[in-house]
Chain A
Amino acid sequence: MSQTRNPFTQFQTDATQVTADDDRRSFLRSSMRGYMNTRSATQGRFIDYESARIAAGEVKWEAIENLDVYLVQFADNLEARGTKVHWCDNSEQARETILGILKDHDAKTIIKSKCMTTEEIHLNDLLSQEGYEVVESDLGEFIVQLREEAPYHFVFPAMHLKKEEINRLFQEKLKSVSTSDPEALTMIAREVLREKYIQADVGISGANFGIAETGMISITENEGNARLTTALPKVHISLMGIEKVIPRIEDLALLLPMLATAGTGQHLTCYNSQLGGPRQPGETDGPDEMHVVLLDNHRTRLLADPEQRDALRCIRCGACLNVCPIFKNVGGHTYGTTYQGPIGSVITPHLRGLKNWKHLSHSSSLCGACTETCPVKIDLHHHLLRNRRNAAERGEGGLFERMLMKGFVFVMRRPWVYRAVGWTGKIAHFLSKPIHGTRLDPFYRWKKTRDLDDPAKQSFKQYWSSRK
């Protein structure tokens, strides 16, 4: 973090830039409208969607509040069927572990299916540095990888790009023929990637759930890329956060439809696969080796917070991003985090430090749309408030905020000072009129996007005493 931009400054600069781009914003809004429509229709098919949310939420509560029990059960059951389980405290250990497995197998080419946790530990950067060929196979991830940028949204990685931009990208990087037809573009990627699956030495995937009872991971997808990634290469590595474990396999019958409905508006995504080990006796394909890399990376720090461990129940459907007025206006890259939107704003301060990431909890209108939409009922917008409170209590706001608050207290406790400030404000308001919107105005930065109405002729205090 030393040489890179300060996260707060970066957020402000990027947000200003994106909010000024009307074209991109209306493009994002129209794709979100499509999502809202399909999702509403799918929710409408439920007998009782609200009860389904509570039930799904309860499954995740049971998992999180008994994480010690279910983690052990999960790992033991995986190992019993020949999977190697690696426990990693932090990103560095996880990277070393994965690198070690690749070296053991003398691997050269790696095919990856979508996994946000690998973004969290910056795996691709390391593997490329070490000379491995790493190819993302999810179409959206493949596109952002070619552009050498981070996913824009953790469910729709390339949602910010228009087909013409993808056409130019494919022409430049893949030397493909010019076409702006989404189907033709998809087929270009299909052809390129098909060969990669067959050649790859190792497949790396994530996991949406880990099933304790049976020792399996569950992967949700639409494209079939995760199935091919876990079927063809000789070695399969799955990286997952420790909070992904759930008690029983039947819980998936509830959670998978909820994940799909909230995530994309589908009643179920195309492939929901459970993998419980490498190729077993009597099976003719599948990898010779399966590795599950369990990552803590400060998740236990979040677990230790009795209020906010709630956020570990997240199933990463992305619904809170889709409904968030902030996300829609500042876009995904502005967050500067692995996990964007409301859930990202809640958990990033725990995963990467409150000091540098507290600003995310302030960039919210607290409208509560995220809480209302969450399929497992995480109390999202209140957690944003809790982050703000924690930051203030720990004095993370810095000297300026402390002085501001001291000044506020000083003014509010002394009626005569309060009146004096009120009058000064009124006079300053009228005096500043000629310079409104210019840099001569000392409050230019705050006022450049705001118009201040003239103050009322009568103050509330005057009005109140006149009524007596």
Chain B
Amino acid sequence: MSRESILARVREALAVKTDSHVRHVSQQASTTLPVLANGPEGRAKAVREFLPFVGESFAERVAAFGMLSEKLQTEFICVADVETAHGELKRLAELNQWKRAGVHDHELLQNCTQNLGLELLATSSPYEVRDLAECDVGISGCDALIAQTASVLVTAHSAGGRALSVLPPHHVVLATADQMVATMADGYEILRRKHGDDWPSFMTFITGPSRTADIERVLVLGAHGPKKLSVILVGGTAGSWAGPRNTNQ
């Protein structure tokens, strides 16, 4: 086994300290950056203090999420309650002519996906990949919405496994107002509180529909993953974000 030989070489190499000049070049000004002196917490603080600004209030976060969503071509819909969310799903189902939907065990989802007239495939129990591939849409929950990046944080637990949110051509996310947080670091904090050390085997930050620009740098949506991403924020009208629905239609 090469474990010991590699580790021995690493230790031998590190026995010689990094050249102080080289170390200094990249460290310049760090003495004037107090957040870095605070170790791990300082790094999380750096995310808030150096990266793009995110406001403290819910309304500001919804606005930031909405603004970036527009750029990303994510459809961001704020609704007052579960009933309106159900109405929105019905509207989307008719507009996009969905027939089959992939779903999973999730309280909010159950209340919103009843009586949509869709054939449902649940991925909470073992399922056939080919059946999921035939679905027109995957509807899932999430763990957090990240205002700084307009990302949806999902795990194998909150989004019905690994494939539901990536295999069907349209992904719809249902989120609640308390899930709107400022930064990705806050997203990890939520997962820590929820799972402790027992992390799900899969988590991902979804930032817009799947995309590529590999051919002449022309943006194409739906490279391999979903061509469309819709985020429905239930209880989000407090932010009165009305922009994206008007611009995306």
Binding site for B on A (CB under 8 A): 31, 34-35, 45-52, 54-55, 57-59, 61, 65-68, 71-72, 75, 81, 87-89, 93, 137-140, 143, 156-159, 161-163, 166, 182-183, 185-187, 190, 193-194, 197-198, 214, 216, 222-225, 227-228, 230-232, 242, 247-254, 256-257, 264, 266-280, 282-286, 294, 296, 300, 303-304, 306-310, 313, 376-379, 382
Contact A58 B27 (CB under 8 A): yes
Pick the contact of B204 from A58, A137, A274 — CB < 8 Å? Answer: A274
Assuming the contacts A139-B214, A275-B201, asked whether A256 and B162 have C-beta atoms less than 8 A apart, the reply is: no
Pick the contact of B51 from A47, A159, A274 — CB < 8 Å? Answer: A47
| Cα distance, A47 to B50, chains bound together (Å) | 5
Chain A CB within 8 A of B56 CB:
no
Pick the contact of A52 from B6, B50, B205 — CB < 8 Å? Answer: B50
User: In the complex, what residues of B have CB within 8 A of residue A279's CB?
Assistant: 201
Q: How far is the CB of A287 from chain B (nearest CB, A)?
A: 9
Q: How far is the CB of B242 from chain A (nearest CB, A)?
A: 23
User: In the complex, what residues of A have CB within 8 A of residue B215's CB?
Assistant: 139, 143, 158, 161, 163, 166, 182, 185-186
Selected A-B contacts with CB under 8 Å, 30 pairs: A34-B217, A45-B52, A46-B50, A54-B26, A57-B27, A61-B23, A67-B14, A198-B133, A228-B166, A230-B202, A232-B129, A247-B40, A250-B185, A252-B188, A254-B46, A254-B47, A268-B207, A270-B208, A271-B204, A274-B204, A277-B201, A280-B156, A283-B156, A284-B123, A285-B163, A304-B13, A304-B16, A310-B22, A378-B26, A379-B22
Contact B18 A65 (CB under 8 A): yes
Assuming the contacts A46-B50, A279-B201, asked whether A222 and B33 have C-beta atoms less than 8 A apart, the reply is: no
Q: How far is the CB of B27 from chain A (nearest CB, A)?
A: 7
| Cα distance, A75 to B40, chains bound together (Å) | 21
User: In the complex, what residues of A have CB within 8 A of residue B49's CB?
Assistant: 47-48, 51
B184-226 interface code vs A (CB 8 A; 1 in, 0 out): 1101100000000001111111111111111111101011111
- Beyond contacts A68-B7, A223-B210: 16 other A-B pairs, Cβ-Cβ < 8 A, are A65-B18, A87-B1, A89-B2, A194-B133, A231-B167, A232-B129, A257-B184, A270-B209, A276-B199, A278-B201, A282-B157, A286-B201, A300-B6, A304-B12, A304-B16, A306-B19
Interface residues in B1-36 (C-beta closer than 8 Å to A): 1-3, 5-7, 9-14, 16-19, 21-23, 25-30, 33, 35-36
Pick the contact of A280 from B16, B23, B201, B205 — CB < 8 Å? Answer: B201
Contact B26 A310 (CB under 8 A): yes
Contact B36 A183 (CB under 8 A): no
Pick the contact of B123 from A75, A186, A285 — CB < 8 Å? Answer: A285
Chain A CB within 8 A of B245 CB:
no
User: In the complex, what residues of B have CB within 8 A of residue A275's CB?
Assistant: 201-202
User: In the complex, what residues of B have CB within 8 A of residue A313's CB?
Assistant: 26
| Cα distance, A256 to B217, chains bound together (Å) | 21
User: In the complex, what residues of B have CB within 8 A of residue A67's CB?
Assistant: 10, 14
User: In the complex, what residues of B have CB within 8 A of residue A51's CB?
Assistant: 29, 33, 46, 49-50
Contact B51 A254 (CB under 8 A): yes
Pick the contact of B167 from A65, A222, A228 — CB < 8 Å? Answer: A228
| Cα distance, A336 to B166, chains bound together (Å) | 36
Contact A272 B205 (CB under 8 A): yes
User: In the complex, what residues of B have CB within 8 A of residue A248's CB?
Assistant: 40, 43
User: In the complex, what residues of B have CB within 8 A of residue A59's CB?
Assistant: 43
Contact A89 B6 (CB under 8 A): yes
Q: How far is the CB of A99 from chain B (nearest CB, A)?
A: 16
Contact B207 A223 (CB under 8 A): no
Q: How far is the CB of B131 from chain A (nearest CB, A)?
A: 11
Contact B50 A379 (CB under 8 A): no
| Cα distance, A286 to B207, chains bound together (Å) | 21
| Cα distance, A282 to B158, chains bound together (Å) | 12
User: In the complex, what residues of B have CB within 8 A of residue A138's CB?
Assistant: 214
Interface residues in B136-193 (C-beta closer than 8 Å to A): 149, 151, 156-157, 160-163, 166-167, 183-185, 187-188
Chain A CB within 8 A of B44 CB:
yes
Assuming the contacts A224-B224, A309-B13, asked whether A269 and B207 have C-beta atoms less than 8 A apart, the reply is: yes
Contact A186 B183 (CB under 8 A): no
Contact A224 B166 (CB under 8 A): yes
Q: How far is the CB of A285 from chain B (nearest CB, A)?
A: 4
Contact B5 A89 (CB under 8 A): yes
Q: How far is the CB of A303 from chain B (nearest CB, A)?
A: 4
User: In the complex, what residues of A have CB within 8 A of residue B50's CB?
Assistant: 46-49, 51-52, 55
User: Closest residue to A43 on the B side, CB-wise?
Assistant: B52
Contact B46 A268 (CB under 8 A): no
Q: How far is the CB of A240 from chain B (nearest CB, A)?
A: 13
Chain A CB within 8 A of B103 CB:
no
User: In the complex, what residues of A have CB within 8 A of residue B30's CB?
Assistant: 54, 58
Chain A CB within 8 A of B68 CB:
yes
Contact A300 B13 (CB under 8 A): yes
User: In the complex, what residues of A have CB within 8 A of residue B209's CB?
Assistant: 270
Contact A242 B10 (CB under 8 A): yes
| Cα distance, A112 to B33, chains bound together (Å) | 41
User: Closest residue to A258 on the B side, CB-wise?
Assistant: B51
Chain A CB within 8 A of B113 CB:
no
Contact A162 B216 (CB under 8 A): yes
Contact B201 A81 (CB under 8 A): yes
Contact A284 B126 (CB under 8 A): yes
User: Closest residue to B191 on the A side, CB-wise?
Assistant: A249
Pick the contact of A198 from B6, B129, B184 — CB < 8 Å? Answer: B129
Contact A271 B206 (CB under 8 A): yes
| Cα distance, A308 to B224, chains bound together (Å) | 39
User: Closest residue to B133 on the A side, CB-wise?
Assistant: A198
User: In the complex, what residues of B have CB within 8 A of residue A230's CB?
Assistant: 162, 202
User: In the complex, what residues of A have CB within 8 A of residue B43's CB?
Assistant: 55, 59, 248, 250-251, 253-254
| Cα distance, A270 to B72, chains bound together (Å) | 9
| Cα distance, A419 to B217, chains bound together (Å) | 56
Q: How far is the CB of A196 from chain B (nearest CB, A)?
A: 10
Q: How far is the CB of A382 from chain B (nearest CB, A)?
A: 8
User: Closest residue to B41 on the A side, CB-wise?
Assistant: A250
| Cα distance, A272 to B215, chains bound together (Å) | 22
Pick the contact of B214 from A54, A57, A143, A272 — CB < 8 Å? Answer: A143
| Cα distance, A163 to B28, chains bound together (Å) | 44
Q: How far is the CB of B90 from chain A (nearest CB, A)?
A: 27
| Cα distance, A257 to B151, chains bound together (Å) | 12
